């Protein structure tokens, strides 16, 4: 009997083998230990999987929506400060340039750091959440319209509410997907307006600078003209004095600007109505003529 029992007994597992239980039924299966070659292949396989995951994380970060730091960190918008810190530590280890050989690992690591800094800045975080909250309100309104228009969905929700099994829609993946999409639309519009305003301000500043440069050029030209006028003042005065001096030195000459008296006129004895110019003497030699009166030819 003992010999038959010994024959039926299972041989002991080889050294290094692993014994596992199937479905808790007490049936054990012995797995032979892996050879060194198999262990190397397994290590290489997991290394490739990890490398692919790391590369995928790099590409996810560099290609994600740039205006929302939560998407860089792959977090929901209600994430706490501790969630942000924990996720940053986890993801940064995967994309760190020293541990990841992907050519864009450095870009992904830098973008991840900026996202974490953004969410730690209270002012920028407050502005971001103002836009995110606005997007959430729009999604809620769209959901109400959708439920109101779909009678079957409305009846199902009322039935679930009556049974006390009303699910929280805002915790569902569908709500978060719609919230994410709506937030992208709002943040994109805000950024577009900001860039347009920046361009307008830049153009206006350029126009003002050009106007100021032109005005400065005119002022400098006027200043140089005044300086030249003042510098040539003595030259002009000296030239004028020399001109007057030379004019007086000529025989019968007079200085420019000197008054010239009018020529005297004398009456013709034969023709009393004719006056001839004279250098000296009375103005009228006609006997009985009244000075200042014209002779009457009919007299």
Q: Are residues 70 and 89 in the same domain?
A: yes
Full-model pTM: 0.55
Which CATH number do you get for residue 39? 1.10.287.110
Three-class SS state of 235? helix
Provide the domain limits for residue 24. Answer: 2-34
Contact 114, 157 (CB under 8 A): no
152 φ, ψ (degrees, to nearest 5): -65, -45
DSSP assignment letter at 168: -
Kindly state whether residue 210 falls inside one of the protein's structural domains. Answer: no
- Gap between the Cα atoms of 45 and 31, Å rounded: 20
Mean pLDDT lowest for which of 20-24, 145-149, 277-281? 20-24
State the pLDDT confidence band at 133, using cuts at 50, 70 and 90: very high
- Gap between the Cα atoms of 86 and 10, Å rounded: 50
Q: Are residues 56 and 79 in the same domain?
A: yes
Predicted confidence at residue 272, as pLDDT, reads 61
Assess whether pLDDT exceeds 90 at residue 286: no
> pLDDT above 70 covers what percent of the chain?
62
Q: Of 274, 19, 239, which Cα lies nearest the Cα of 284?
A: 274
Predicted confidence at residue 230, as pLDDT, reads 81
Predicted confidence at residue 177, as pLDDT, reads 94
Render pLDDT for 70-119 as a digit per residue (tens, 0 to 9): 999 999 999 999 999 999 999 988 888 988 889 999 999 999 999 999 99
- Gap between the Cα atoms of 234 and 125, Å rounded: 73
- Gap between the Cα atoms of 222 and 256, Å rounded: 32
Q: Are residues 20 and 79 in the same domain?
A: no
Q: Are residues 19 and 43 in the same domain?
A: no
Helix axes of 173-231 and 122-149: crossing angle, nearest 10 degrees: 130
Predicted confidence at residue 127, as pLDDT, reads 95
- Longest alpha-carbon distance in the chain: 197
Q: Is the pLDDT higher at 40 or at 124?
A: 124
Predicted confidence at residue 191, as pLDDT, reads 94
Alpha helix ranges (H) inside 9-121? 36-63, 69-73, 81-95, 105-120
């Amino acid at each position: 009997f003992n010999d038959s029992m010994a024959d039926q007994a299972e041989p002991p597992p080889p050294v290094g083998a692993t014994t596992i239980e199937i479905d808790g039924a007490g049936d054990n299966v012995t797995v032979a230990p892996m050879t060194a070659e198999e262990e190397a292949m397994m290590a290489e396989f997991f290394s490739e999987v990890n490398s692919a995951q790391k590369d995928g994380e790099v590409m996810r970060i560099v290609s994600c929506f740039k205006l929302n730091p939560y998407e860089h960190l792959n977090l929901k918008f209600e994430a706490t400060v501790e969630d942000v810190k924990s996720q940053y530590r986890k993801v940064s280890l995967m994309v760190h340039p020293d541990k990841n050989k992907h050519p864009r690992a450095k870009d992904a690591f830098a973008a991840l750091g900026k996202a974490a800094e953004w969410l730690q800045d209270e002012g920028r975080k407050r502005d971001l959440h103002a836009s995110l909250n606005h997007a959430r309100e729009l999604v809620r309104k769209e959901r109400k319209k959708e439920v109101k228009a779909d009678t079957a969905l409305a009846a199902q929700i009322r039935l679930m509410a009556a049974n006390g099994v009303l699910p929280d829609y805002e915790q569902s993946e569908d709500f978060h997907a719609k919230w994410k999409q709506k937030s992208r639309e709002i943040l994109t519009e805000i950024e577009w307006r900001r860039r347009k305003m920046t361009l307008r301000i830049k153009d206006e500043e350029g126009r003002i600078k050009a106007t100021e440069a032109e005005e400065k050029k005119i002022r400098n030209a006027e200043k140089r003209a005044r300086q030249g006028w003042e510098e040539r003042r003595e030259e002009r005065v000296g030239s004028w004095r020399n001109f007057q001096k030379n004019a007086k030195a000529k025989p019968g000459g007079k200085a420019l600007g000197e008054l010239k008296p009018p020529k005297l006129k004398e009456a013709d004895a034969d023709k009393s109505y004719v006056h001839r110019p004279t250098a000296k003497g009375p103005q009228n030699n006609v006997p009985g003529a009244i000075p200042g009166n014209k002779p009457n030819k009919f007299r």
